[in-house]
Structure 1
Amino acid sequence: MELLTVSNISLAEGATTVVAPLSFSQRTDHKLALAGESGAGKSTLLQIIAGLVQPSAGEIRIEGERVRGPHEALVPGHPGVAYLSQKSDLPHSLRVEQVLRYASKRPAAEAQALYELCRIDHLLARRTDQLSGGEQQRVALARLLLGSPRLLLLDEPYSNLDRVHKRQLQAIIEEVGTRLGITCLLVSHDATDVLPWADEILVLRRGQLVQRGTPQQLYYQPADEYVAALFGNYNLVRGADRQALGVPGASHAPDATLLVRPEQLVLSAEGPGLPGTVRAVRFLGSYYEVEIQLPENVVRAWVGHATYLPGAVVYVGLRPPAG
């Protein structure tokens, strides 16, 4: 069932296009992410979906009901849609219990279960100005969940959190989907936020949709360098080196390029493969990065052991696609 339908939405501010016309939909229980660099239009699009920003054209529907923008509604926002921003925006100096009680539409037992899910049941007597950033974000999320939303919009929810609080909030958001059955749409510029979580990712650049697909498709088959760079380290291979690597089904145009991840390169001491010379070997914790000078390009490959030394000749090939 389609929960969210975005139809030809666009937003222009003067001569600047913030969001170009785009359309997509999201099914119930489908985890969808919007990715892109800062200024790509991700957060603005999320606010349009929430009914907090008025689009220049197009429409948003939640379960068939049109979302009205702030120019059309007395109270901004759409029933059944909750929007969690980067900042918690909690009332200052109130006790957490007060903030949540005012927002609750659930029976006491359900509310208590939500507090436990959000790991805030021990914070109820504290004032909001006594909470850490991670605690404030979890309280803000609990306040939204008390309203029983069908769609939860998450706008860079981890951006201001340290590693511990980020992992805690990630676990909570997973449970929001599995235990509460709330559909989530997440915005992030960080690949580690979206690759392990999303069922599908939409990549935006300057307000335009440039690629849509599963995390695996966007990681291993990026449409261009912009998409490749968003999701991690990559090698750009041109010219004769690209032809020598023998990419199945690849273009034979002389200016064609190959975008390949470091872990997709296979090294061997005796071939087969494209010969190159090791320039450097770097220890990066769980793996080593081997920098190799090919005839026309420099590439980096990731290996599990420091088998190769600078100056050694190695042969580079491509790992066969999974499956």
Structure 2
Amino acid sequence: MHQVTPPKKVTAAKTLLQVSGIHLQEAGSWVLQDISFSQEKRQKIAIAGETGSGKSTLLQTIAGLVQPSSGEVRFAQKRVKGPQEHLIPGHPGIVYLSQQFELPRFLRVEQVLQYANKLGPGEAENLYEVCRITHLLPKRTEHLSGGERQRIALARLLLSGPQLLLLDEPFSNLDMVHKNILKAVIRDISESLQITCILISHDPQDTLAWADEILVMQAGKVIQRGTPEQIYRQPVNVYTAGLFGDYNLLPSTKAKVLTENPGIKEKEKNMLIRPESFKIVSAVGRGLAAKVKKVSFFGSYYLLEVALLGLTIKVKTEARDFKKGNIIFISVDPEAVWFI
């Protein structure tokens, strides 16, 4: 395994969160294995990985809700104690929004928030505007939609004035309208309220455009850490590549044909190319001939499945004049090629 870019060093003054050597063993199995990373104030970190990779457990450990077997979490230079050391689990300044949040029933939203409020009147009103819930204050909680309930639960946590917000799959089970509203809310929480965030999501569209840095987890380990562009364009393995969208993997024996292109060096490794990295060219001799097997429409683009080198290759294009059976010619830029 190789790391694309080593984590950058940060000074203690800027470091808000320091996770060092976290291990967690449950029922004889390792849930978390040697997790270490740091986070600066207002740095946006996303955590990606398949179900069961340890993402939620890591967030709960950071929040002080799960006791690690070894290692430590330090927040604002203070050690975060686990539930075995605290009568009431949790740590001041850190809030965690789980996927199973609950709101009191048969109360108006303003009552629910009033009981949790530790901010001044002006600050609370600003928070309600950021969370897009001002118009919901007179409503009763049982009359809210799922997306509205989630924003209320988020606002209730933020009324404690935290420095770090941990979001566990906040976009799951939301329709596109409420998902886009919540994305705007999370953006403004970071920019307007200056609250640092860590977010878990399965959808690459939720993380690539938002995060400053992404941690990829597999089987309880962080296997890659880098900027969204590094993670997407230079994945450490096919597991990471698949988490962030479609890809083409050409065995080294097949990839040799593409290494004839200027700037692409031959390596004894598999070649990874994203579908949008292929270019459809018009002239014979400028690209490789491929036969279109399938055309799928995705609104802003078409995804072509083409036969090339005995493989089925995915090619993304905005052009709309391709049909099954067409012969096209494709090429790829050297900077779009990655070997794993």
Pairwise same-fold verdict (TM > 0.5): yes
Q: Could you say which residue in structure 1 is the equivalent of 2:328? A: 314
1:170-185 alignment, distance < 5 Å: 170-185=183-198
**Residue by residue, what CA displacement relative to the aligned partner does 1:172-200 show, whole Å, maximum 9, x if unpaired?**
11001111110000011111111110010
Q: Which segments of structure 1 move beyond 6 Å, counting only runs of 4 or more?
A: none
1:27-70 Cα offsets, whole Å, 9 max, x none, are: 00110010011111000000000000111110000011000000
Shift of 1:83: 0.7
User: Aligned AA for 2:244?
Assistant: F
Q: 286, 304, 321: which one pairs with 2:318?
A: 304
What is the match of residue 222 of structure 1? 235
Structure 2: how far apart are the matches of 1:279 and 1:61? 54
1:141-180 correspondence runs (5 A):
141-180=154-193
Q: Distance in 1 between matches of 2:187 and 2:265?
A: 38
Which amino acid in structure 1 is aligned with residue 267 of structure 2?
H
The secondary structure found in structure 1 opposite 2:246 is coil
**Superposition deviation, residue 125 in structure 1:** 2.2
| Aligned pairs for 1:87-102 within 5 A | 87-102=100-115
Partner residue in 2 for 1:82: 95
Contact 2:252 2:271 in 1 (8 A): no
Question: Which consecutive unaligned segments of at least 5 residues does structure 2 have?
Answer: 1-13
Distance in 2 of aligned mates of 1:319 and 1:88: 47
SS in 2 for 1:321: helix
User: Are 1:242 and 1:257, in contact at CA under 8 Å, matched by a contact in 2?
Assistant: yes
Give structure 1 stretches of 5+ with no counterpart: none
User: Contact conserved, 2:258 with 2:264, CA < 8 A, in 1?
Assistant: no
| 2:291 corresponds to 1:291 | no
Distance (whole Å) between structure 2 residues aligned to residue 272 and residue 243 of structure 1: 16
Is 1:205 the counterpart of 2:207? The answer is: no
Provide, for residues 4-46 of structure 1, a one-character-per-residue CA deviation record: whole Å limited to 9, x for no partner: 0000001110221111111000000110010011111000000
Which of 22, 36, 40 does residue 49 from structure 2 map onto? 36
- Post-superposition offset of 1:210: 1.2
Determine if contact 2:19/2:37 at 8 Å carries over to the other structure.
Answer: yes
- Equivalence for 1:7: 20
Question: What do residues 224-274 of structure 1 show as CA deviations (whole Å, max 9, x unaligned)?
Answer: 111111101111111433111128575622xx2112110001122323233
CA deviation vs aligned residue, 1:252-299 (integer Å, no higher than 9, x gap) = 22xx21121100011223232333222233333222222221123220
> Matched residue pairs, number?
320
The aligned counterpart of 2:75 is 62
Q: Does 1:252 align with 2:267?
A: yes
Pair 1:237-2:286 in alignment: no
| Corresponding residue SS for 1:197 | coil
Whole-angstrom CA distance in 2 between matches of 1:277 and 1:169: 42
Structure 1 residues 244 and 11, CA, compared in 2 at 3 Å: closer, same or farther?
A: same
Q: Which amino acid aligns with 2:238?
A: E
Measured against aligned partners, the alpha-carbon deviations of 1:198-223 in whole angstroms (never above 9, x if no partner) come to 01000001111111111111111111
TM-score by length of 2: 0.90
Give the whole-Å Cα distance in 2 for the aligned partners of 1:290 and 1:214: 29
Kept in 1, the 8 Å contact 2:256–2:266? The answer is no
- How far apart, in 2, do the equivalents of 1:124 and 1:285 lie? 37
Indicate if the aligned counterparts of 1:238 and 1:297 stay in contact, CA closer than 8 A: no
The RMSD of aligned alpha carbons is 1.7
Tell me what 1:127 maps to.
Answer: 140
Query: What secondary structure sits across from 2:280 in the alignment?
Result: strand
Match 2:287 to one of 267, 270, 273: 273
Once residues 140 and 321 of structure 1 are traced to their aligned partners in structure 2, the CA distance between those partners, rounded to angstroms, is 44
Partner amino acid for 1:273?
Answer: G
Does structure 2 conserve the Cα–Cα contact (< 8 Å) formed by 1:86 and 1:160?
A: no
Measure the CA separation in 1 of the matches of 2:210 and 2:68. 28
For 1:260, the aligned partner's letter is I
Q: What is the TM-score normalised by the length of structure 1?
A: 0.94
Q: Percent identity?
A: 51
CA offsets per residue over residues 51-97 of structure 1, 9 Å max, x none? 00111110000011000000001111000001111233112222211
User: Could you tell me how far apart the structure 1 residues matched to 2:79 and 2:277 are?
Assistant: 45
Question: Aligned partners of 2:106 and 2:100: how far apart in 1?
Answer: 16
Q: Which amino acid aligns with 1:313?
A: I
Give the whole-Å Cα distance in 2 for the aligned partners of 1:56 and 1:201. 25
